[in-house]
Structure 1
Amino acid sequence: MPALFGHWAPIVVDAAAIKPGDRVLDIACGTGVLAREAAARVGAARQVAGIDLHAGMIALARRIAPGIDWREGKAEALPYQDKGFDAVVSQFGLMFFSDRDQAIREMLRVLAPGGRCAVAVWDAIDNVPAFADLVALLDRSAGKAAGDALRAPFALGDKPALVRLFERAGASAVEVATRRGTARFPSIRDLVEAELRGWLPVMGVNLTEPEISGILAESEAVLAPCRSSGGELVFDIPAHIISARKS
């Protein structure tokens, strides 16, 4: 989580212009990194809610920050009343919603008039060379299904298409800004093994141990340009921050 997601939370909260006293909803909250940042800005955990499809994520979020209202549920059918929040935020979840249009309509439904939303998605994979190189390695070594599983998080890199998506759902004052972040892992193996043993199975791709061993060995050479003098894996990873309002 800290390697890829932690430092984006203040950026998203800034984009939503969250201020003390706001009621805030974090959609696809995961373990609650963004919701906790929002609670710190708002000044009261009870003013913040977080929702995620995965019960395990919600259980961990609840242990970390019990004062926030955590719920299990879908972005496409939010269990909240109309106009109940001043701001809605989400980071790196929109790519995986089953119905993105409906999810954005739900964001707007639960916002009060004039409310703000801010959503982060990764830039196109061609603009993240480290992941592009790893995807190419997976294509060669494990097949296109494995490569596609790792391409999935980068599916919303087209900025004009993002504007159209939010405007089609009824959002106003839609803006998309690209921000550059830095991913930092203790080693090449830490990133690659996390993707092979953690992310790919989530996407329905399970590699054999020989396949994993081979990819881990090859990745040392493929990702060597991103290895620091201290052995860490460090690379740029840009994201688009979409900000919008409810009319």
Structure 2
Amino acid sequence: MAEREQWQVSAVAAEIYESCFVPAIFGAWASPVADAAGIKEGDAVLDVACGTGVLAREAFRRTGRVVGLDLNEGMLAVAARTEPGIDWRAGDATALPFDDAAFDVVVSQFALMYFPDRAGALREMWRVLAPGGRLAVAVWAAIDRAPGFRILADIAGRLSSPKAADLLAAPFVLGDQGELADLFAGSGIPDAGIDLREGSIRFSSIQEFIRVEVKGSPLAGLIGDEEMPALIAEAEPALAQFVVPSGEVVMPIAAHIVTAGR
């Protein structure tokens, strides 16, 4: 269930991704990943599987020389509107359309989990990285470090289908640090460092969290409008522990940021 092809989302879902997922989940990680990569003025940067471009935009603020590549045309259309100064390219992470040693920095944020050939994608990132260059790749840690998603996956699996539960759990498939280290070493990337970072996600309400998770992902094809009330009714009491006094829902989540120098 973790193949990238299953995340070919519609234009509507790409808009939801940028307007909802980015501020609630992904935006907070762009600066730490850029810091881990050591992006500085003058660097040529490649963001692999850039989505709507939150990390690419952070890199662009630091250097002004950024290529954002993604397989998903809907994501790229939104990305191009948000920052026309970045060179947005359609392409496959396992066959990057760039020369060897073309970039000073290669980054990728929360995408490696979905590649059908993860080792192949990492080898390509390493190939296009120049000598002295820096690689930084962020993946989610184990789902047990994201209890809100664990709860929602369990409920969706019961009320909808095992496939729905698998889709919600898919982002966390690289959560084992030992297996992650082996993946990088086996891809020809020596001495990669793995840094576990704690974070959180924030939504205006439990209902909004569920709506965004369903409508902004392939879950929309599995959980229809008629099923949403039952999902919300069961999830609200289970997720009530994460509601803060403002009424927002704030849930812990952790990520691994993997770095290596060429």
Give the TM-score taking structure 1 as reference length: 0.94
Aligned partner of 2:51 in structure 1 is 30
Aligned partner of 2:103 in structure 1 is 85
User: Is the counterpart of residue 209 in structure 1 residue 230 in structure 2?
Assistant: no
What amino acid is aligned across from residue 198 of structure 1 in structure 2?
G
How far the C-alpha of 1:210 sits from its partner, in A, is 2.9
User: Is the counterpart of residue 69 in structure 1 residue 69 in structure 2?
Assistant: no
How far the C-alpha of 1:158 sits from its partner, in A, is 0.6
How far the C-alpha of 1:230 sits from its partner, in A, is 1.6
Aligned partner of 1:102 in structure 2 is 120
- Looking at structure 2, the residues matched to 162 and 113 of structure 1 have their Cα atoms a distance apart, in angstroms, of 23
Deviation per CA, 1:159-217: give whole Å up to 9, x if none: 11111111111112201011011100011011111122222437xx4223332220011
What amino acid is aligned across from residue 232 of structure 1 in structure 2?
E
- Looking at structure 2, the residues matched to 17 and 151 of structure 1 have their Cα atoms a distance apart, in angstroms, of 31
Deviation per CA, 1:17-70: give whole Å up to 9, x if none: 11111110000101111011111111x2xx110001111111111111111110
User: Is the counterpart of residue 111 in structure 1 residue 129 in structure 2?
Assistant: yes
Of 256, 259, 262, the residue aligned with 1:240 is 256
Aligned partner of 1:17 in structure 2 is 38
Deviation per CA, 1:77-113: give whole Å up to 9, x if none: 1111110001100100000011001000000110001
How far the C-alpha of 1:143 sits from its partner, in A, is 2.2
- Looking at structure 1, the residues matched to 90 and 78 of structure 2 have their Cα atoms a distance apart, in angstroms, of 12
How far the C-alpha of 1:136 sits from its partner, in A, is 1.1
**Greater CA deviation, 84-93 or 164-173?**
164-173
**Contact 2:160-2:222 within 8 A present in 1 as well:** no
What amino acid is aligned across from residue 57 of structure 2 in structure 1?
R
**Contact 2:164-2:219 within 8 A present in 1 as well:** no
Structure 2: gaps (5+ residues) = 1-21
User: Is the counterpart of residue 196 in structure 1 residue 214 in structure 2?
Assistant: yes
- Looking at structure 2, the residues matched to 143 and 59 of structure 1 have their Cα atoms a distance apart, in angstroms, of 32
How far the C-alpha of 1:75 sits from its partner, in A, is 0.5
Of 220, 224, 231, the residue aligned with 2:240 is 224
**Contact 2:53-2:79 within 8 A present in 1 as well:** yes
Q: Which runs of 4+ in 1 moved over 3 A?
A: none
**Contact 1:150-1:200 within 8 A present in 2 as well:** no
What amino acid is aligned across from residue 80 of structure 1 in structure 2?
F
SS at match of 1:83: coil
Aligned partner of 2:19 in structure 1 is none
Give the TM-score taking structure 2 as reference length: 0.89
Aligned partner of 1:167 in structure 2 is 185
- Looking at structure 1, the residues matched to 211 and 74 of structure 2 have their Cα atoms a distance apart, in angstroms, of 21
- Looking at structure 2, the residues matched to 201 and 208 of structure 1 have their Cα atoms a distance apart, in angstroms, of 9
- Looking at structure 2, the residues matched to 73 and 190 of structure 1 have their Cα atoms a distance apart, in angstroms, of 32
**Greater CA deviation, 74-83 or 136-145?**
136-145
Aligned partner of 2:3 in structure 1 is none
**Contact 2:205-2:249 within 8 A present in 1 as well:** yes
Of 152, 168, 185, the residue aligned with 1:150 is 168
Q: How many residues align?
A: 241
Structure 1: gaps (5+ residues) = none
